[in-house]
Amino acid sequence: MLPIIGALRPWADPTVTSLLRLPMRARPAAEGDRRLSLDGTWSFRLFPSPDQVPADAVRGEREPGRWQSVGVPGSWPVQVADDIPHYTNIQMPFAEPPPRLPSRNPTGVYRTAFDVPSRWEGQRLLLHVGGADSVHAVYLNGVFVGYGTDARLGSEYDVTEAARVGRNQLAVVVVRYSAHSFVEDQDGWWLAGLHRGVRVEARPPVGLVDLDARADLDPRSGEGTLDVRATVDFGESTEAEGYRVRVSLSGRDGAGVARPQDAPVPHAVNNTYEFSGHIARLRWDGLRILPWSAETPALYEVAAELIDPAGDVVDATRVRVGFRRVEIDGPDFLVNGRRVWIFGVNRHDHHPDTGAAVTVEDMRADLAAMRRMNINAIRTSHYPNDPAFYDLCDELGFYVVDEANIESHAFNWYLCGDPRYRATWLERGARMVARDRNHPCVVQWSLGNESGYGVNHDALAGWIRRADRSRPLHYEDAIRNSGWTDGGRHATDVVCPMYPGIEEIRAYGEQVAAGAADRPLIMCEYSHAMGNSNGSLADYWDVITSTPGLQGGFIWEWKDHGLRQRLPDGTTRLAYGGQFGDAPHDANFVADGLVSADVEPHPGTAEVAWAYRPVTTEYVDGGLYVTNRRRFACTGDLAAGWELLLDGAPAASGTLDLPDVAPGGSVTVPLPVDAAYSGAAQALLTITWRTRTESWFAPAGHPVAWDQLALRDGRPAPGPPAKGAVAVPGETADDPMPNVWRAATDNDGLKLMEHIVRVREMGSRTLIRWRDAGLDTRPAHEIVDHTVSVSRSESGAEYRHRFEVPDEATDLPRVGVLFRVDPRFDRFVWFGRGPHENYPDRNRSAMLGRWSSQVEPSPYLVPQEFGLRTGTLWLELIDDDRGDRLRLTSLGGDFCWSATRFAPQALFAAENASDLREDDRLVVCLDAAHRGVGTGACGPDVLPRYRIGPGRYELAYRMELVPGVQGVAGAPPHPQDSSACRIG
């Protein structure tokens, strides 16, 4: 049994949050030769439960062959074969109620050795454990030195007495499940291990232990104020008199901003009750500085030195600060006095190979990809991140909602009132604030996620309000049951609902306009990005930008949480819940990101970049109305270009000449082209804004905003048959068959997971018999009546399809045809919306134009419907080797289309992308109508206007084959190709 704590079993006691752990402070880590990283390869052994860990395991004795090597930081379920990752969303991974734990509770013992240099003799030695999931106990040279909870904040222990100069043996015992696991039920993988760094630091016996630097900005004068409180720990010393702290403030270039100041460190006086601690206080007013914002992240350095009575510097530290003010003024959330848009996303720490262990490079890659999508705000769902993450957000410019490591989803409204967990609530939130309060990027404190609303929340809210009045509070469950207007005011200063409908947020804005609501609404989660999703994102922002009180929100979520899994045949795949043998599980609900686990953007990210674009352009009263949606930066860093399309053909292009638009400002400029448009039925002007210079997130020329303006909104007439066209032989393309089904998306759910039972042919008429997959006992019924007329000639064929959808078919996936084509046709050119995949409720980012694309792979971890393009007038499937073109031209309205290597039935049947096998022919779908994708896996379903209801649908097109010259493609790509608006 573990020495000292084994009999106590603190991991099973929710009232024990730590033993011998030092208070959380805001002092950064030591630097240079005062810091020793212990990251690297450690010895590791797994035991069935903490009760079965022998004392010898932490005292240095090891049985040969029973230990293995693992990396720290790391998560052991992705490193060793004796334990597995486990995914659940709401349910716990074991059946016991709180605070009881399962009898099998894997416990890992980590061991390493390090040398304490002789120069550290006489110093105070601290051991820092950056993150241990779920709880941990620390032993140095066989001596117990501390125990800590909270897997997502660091723990520090004074190991001076246990350490020795020379070789030291360190053991960290990590228990996978604890009584505190019940408040870490956070819709992610249950992993375990030392997933953040471990280090030893040497600090002087009398030293600076906390540096609280509060940088404020007066939005009216633009001047800054800096309040510094430097806390000194005198340890065992009785000589506390005569010390002072010197603080200086400098800019990024190292130049001083204000004259350094000295302040004495107060010392205790006998028989007085006024002693307030060894805290030196300094203040600067009227500082002429540059403000910090997500658009202009100006940083300054505060350096503090502790000077002893002899005048020697005995300790020093420094922090970076940004001068900014965050406040709420009625229904407006303000940064530096200005109302900002929250173009946000939720983010977990995740890497497909290392689980919860992420590097600074991983974090920077996430942030760079986010900025390419115009994201400016992050909610740290659902726990504090590594300190380096906040340093990056300070430097690169992101607004952060810092969230406490509290979620009791399986026991949502119970633990928040349980007195046994009161200390847990307070410790987790208070330690987060104590650690992160110097970061300008943090603009709100979140009390956690999906843990009900109870007295424990109010207790934490009260502590934070007293400790840091400079930031508002955020907590969604406080308004869930008590209403958005007045609910939960003790615990939240913002209305932050989860997955509200568009009409719900519009109604709240109307209450704001009427004076009946007075808090800003910023959605903590919306637009659930699971698979083929993010429908109606632009519709949300139509309402947000036109309604008072609404300021944006955070998309759920940033990244799929696929974990790399090695298969028996030696290949690897990204796996989700249940695919490691974990049970119970919630399957692929963990794969709900805008990007893949490898940070490959999903197609919906283009819509995010467009909805979050920093500049908008409208066609108003014959001119261009340009609005800068940024609040602190002008448009001078961007260059605007234009292109005119007349009846689908490029007619002219150029650079848009306009003045530098002020933050939040608008200008009107003339059209850059003649208004006559040469008699075209359709005239489209596309304005694209690109970066002028290379930046940390993208090369010069990266597109950040684009809008297409209909100067003339007619429809081009279908062109004549192509010259040299011939009839399409059967080996080139099959006859089109009616198709009213798609491989269900993650959002479609059971309602649309339906199967065609039988198709009955009656000459030119087809009756499609249908049965719901979830209602197999219901008789099949004929719901779609399809008729087709075909006119064939030597140069091709014209098809005219008519679909009669009866009243009982209220929500079909699609109405169209499917046919297979020779696979040699692997490139596509079309006039329609593009270049990226788009759907009826996710196509505002897709401009009308002439686009080119190759056959695309399935982009989603769980295969499903993909690859659609909307608004198409003609499509060519091209064989580049022979130059042959299979051309499809609309004879009426536009159509939707997709062309993939996978039949819908194959996509539907595959459980993982690794299961997919390509069809031996190209599978082409043409649709008269296609259902939107919505966001219904965890949010609103498809809006009514994007659904397919009863009625008549018509699809008419000409199909022709245009033979080419060997090796010469018949339709050269246009410069406006599929890379033009790439934002990933």
Catalytically active residues are 450, 525
Give strand pairing partners of 43: 69, 111
CA 928/CA 946 separation, integer angstroms: 13
Amino acid code (one letter) for 531: G
Report the interhelical angle of 537-544 vs 502-513 (nearest 10°).
Answer: 0
The closest alpha carbon to 456, from 431, 428, 476, 434, belongs to: 428
CA-nearest of 846, 398, 369 to 601 is: 369
444 touches 401 (CB < 8 A): yes
For residue 414, give Cα distances in angstroms to 405, 450, 496, 538, 649.
17, 11, 21, 38, 63
Whole-number Å distance between alpha carbons of 389 and 383: 12
Instruction: Return the structure tokens found at 287.
Output: 């500082």
**Distance in Å from the first CA to the final CA of the chain:** 52
User: How many Å apart are CA 984 and CA 976, to the nearest integer?
Assistant: 17
Non-local CB neighbours of 915 within 8 Å, separated by 6+ positions? 863, 909
Distance CA 605, CA 842 (A): 10
User: Which pairs from 218-223 meet CB under 8 Å and 24+ separation?
Assistant: 218/325, 219/325, 219/334, 219/336, 219/337, 219/338, 220/337, 222/288, 222/291, 223/285, 223/286, 223/287, 223/288, 223/289
DSSP 8-class letter at 179: G
Angle among Cα 591, 594, 597 to the nearest 5 degrees reads 50
- The helix (H) or strand (E) run that includes residue 646 is strand 638-646
User: Which residues, 6+ apart, have CB-to-CB distance to 419 below 8 Å?
Assistant: none
How does strand 796-805 pair with strand 781-793? antiparallel
Task: Count CA within 13 A, CB hemisphere, residue 692.
Answer: 7
Cis peptide before 134 (omega within 30 of 0): yes
Closest C-alpha to 925, from 814, 830, 799, 822: 814
